[in-house]
Amino acid sequence: MEIARKFKNTFSNVPMLGWLLGVLAAVLIEYYWGYDYISYYLGLPKIPVLFGTLIMLKDPMMIPGVIGYDLIVYVIPILLIAKASNFFTNPVAAILEKTPLWLSAIIHLIFFYGVLHLWAGINDYRVLVVKLTMISIILTISINVINGYQGEFSCSHPGFMAIGAYISSIITLYFFVNDKTFGAAVLSPDLGPWLFPFALIAGGIGASLGSLLVAVPSFRTRGDYLAIISLAFMFIIKSAIENLNVIGGARGMGGQPDYAPLPIIFIWTMLCIWVVHNFVTSIMGKALNAVRDDEAASESMTVKTRKTKMTAFMFGAFWAGIAGGLFAHVLAYINPGMFSINRLAEILAMVYFGGLNSIIGSIVGAVSINVLGEALRPLELFKWIIIPLILILVMIFRPYGLISFKEINAKKLLRAKHKREQGA
C-alpha cells in the first residue's frame, strides 16, 4: 500500500500529454530496436505481440525474457519519459487548457491515434485486435445505453448488430463491388470509401427501426419478461437471415470491400463516445436514469417515459448497427452464426464487467475482455473458465461493475498538473 501511495505521489504531476509522450517513446523503442536488439538478446523468437502473454503461456521458459522485454520496452521508458518530460509537458498542457476544450481534446486524440497507429502497425495481428477492440467499445457503450442507463435487461444486441452488418454489407456489395449475387457494381468503386459512412448509417437506422419491436413491449413489461422478448428478437433475426438465401442464408456473405481501416474505425469510435457522452450528460439523457429508477415519478415530473424508452432502444440499436457494419467490413465475411448467443454472452460480459451507467466503464470493460480473450487464447478451453471466473469475482466485489456511475470529465483529464507547493 505504502509503495502504491508513493508511486502515485511521484507521478501525480504528470499530465495526460506526458503519459502519451512516454507511450510514444516506448513504441519508438519497440519500432526501432524491438526485434533487432531487445528481443534478440533476451532470446525471444519475435516481438511479443500482446506484451508477451501469448509466448509466456505457450512456453513458460520464456517468462523471464518476456518480463525483461516488457520492462525494457514499456514500463521503464514510459515512467521515465513521463516523469522527465513534465518540465515542458505541463506548460504545454497549460497552454492547451486555455484553448477551447474541443481543440485540446482533438489535439490529444490525434496524438493518441498516432501512437496507437505506430504501435499497432508493427504487426498485422495487433491491427486486427485493435480494430475488434474498438468495435467492441462501440458495442459496449451502445448496450450500456439500454442495459445501464435505461436499466432494461435487453438481450437483443447481436440482433441489432446483425441488421446493421447485413444492411451495410448489402449496400456496399450492391453499389461498389462486382459480386456474384448482386451483379456488377452500380457505382464506381472509387466512390466506395466516401459513401461508406452512409451505408453504415443506413445499417444503424435499420437496426434502430428493428429495435422498435423490443421497445414497444417495454412500455408494458420490464425485467425478466422483456429479457425473454429481446432474446426472442435476437433469434428471430438470426433465423430470418438463415432462411434468406438471397443474402447467403446460413452460408453467410463474404467479399465486403476493406473500407474499414484503423483510422476510420477510430473516428467512428470517438464519434460514438462523444455523441453518447453528450446525450447521457444532458437532461434528455438523464431522463433514461429517471425512468429506470422510478417510472411513476418521472411521469409526474413531466418526463415523457414512452418517448424516453423508445429513444434509449433506438439510440442503442443505432450504434450497435454501426458496430455491426464496421465488423462486417473488417472481417470481410459474416454469417448469421456470428450474431448469436455467444456474441450476446461476450457483449454482456463486457458491459457488466466494465460497469453500468458509465462510458469510461464500458471502454474499460471492452478493452479488458478483448485483450484478455486474445491473451489467454493459448489456454484454449481454460480461457472459458478463467474469464467467467473473473467476471464472477467482479460481480461479488463490485455488483455494478468495475467503474460504474461515473462520467468522463475531459477537462479534468487533460489539464496540466502542477506540483503542489512544498509545505504550503
Quote the least distance from Cβ 271 to another protein, whole Å: 10
Of the residues 92, 209, 250, 284, which one makes contact with another protein according to CB under 8 A: 284
Which string of x and - marks every residue 312-351 that binds another protein (by CB under 8 A)? ----------------------------------------
Cβ proximity to another protein: between 146 and 229 the closer is 146
Quote the least distance from Cβ 410 to another protein, whole Å: 12
Of the residues 15, 22, 248, 285, which one makes contact with another protein according to CB under 8 A: 285
Cβ proximity to another protein: between 174 and 400 the closer is 400
Distance, CA of 99 to CA of 151 (rounded, Å): 37
Concatenating the DSSP letter of every residue in 52-117 gives: THHHHHH-GGGHHHHHHHIIIIIIHHHHHHHHHTHHHHHHHHHHHHHS-HHHHHHHHHHHHHHHHH
Q: Which residues of 362-398 are buried (b: 16+ CB within 10 A; e: fewer)?
A: bbbbbbbbbbbbbbbeeeeeebeeebeeebeebeeee
Cβ proximity to another protein: between 213 and 284 the closer is 284
State yes or no: residue 311 binds another protein (CB under 8 A). Answer: yes
Q: Give the closest residue to 368 by CA, choosing from 329, 403, 413, 322.
A: 403
Quote the least distance from Cβ 287 to another protein, whole Å: 6
Of the residues 278, 399, 409, 418, which one makes contact with another protein according to CB under 8 A: 278
Distance, CA of 178 to CA of 216 (rounded, Å): 40
Distance, CA of 354 to CA of 376 (rounded, Å): 19
Distance, CA of 286 to CA of 301 (rounded, Å): 13
Q: Which range, of 27-35, 261-269, 291-299, 332-340, touches another protein by CB under 8 A? A: 291-299
Quick one: cell of 144?
450500456
Cβ proximity to another protein: between 154 and 208 the closer is 208
Cβ proximity to another protein: between 12 and 282 the closer is 282
Q: Which range, of 128-136, 252-260, 296-304, 367-375, touches another protein by CB under 8 A? A: 296-304
State yes or no: residue 283 binds another protein (CB under 8 A). Answer: yes
CB 110 within 8 A of CB 116: no
Cβ proximity to another protein: between 104 and 370 the closer is 104
Quick one: cell of 247?
443474402
State yes or no: residue 302 binds another protein (CB under 8 A). Answer: yes
Q: Give the closest residue to 176 by CA, choosing from 162, 163, 188, 159.
A: 188
Helix crossing, 192-210 with 157-176: angle to 10°?
150
Residue 179's SS3 state is strand
Of the residues 79, 216, 232, 290, which one makes contact with another protein according to CB under 8 A: 290
State yes or no: residue 216 binds another protein (CB under 8 A). Answer: no
State yes or no: residue 289 binds another protein (CB under 8 A). Answer: yes
State yes or no: residue 300 binds another protein (CB under 8 A). Answer: yes
358: left (phi over 0), alpha (psi -120 to 50) or beta: beta
Quote the least distance from Cβ 355 to another protein, whole Å: 13
Quick one: cell of 234?
435476437
Please count the residues of this chain forming the interface with another protein, following the rule CB under 8 A. Answer: 27
Q: Would you tell me which residues interact with another protein (CB under 8 A)? A: 275, 278-279, 282-287, 289-290, 292-294, 296-305, 311, 357, 405
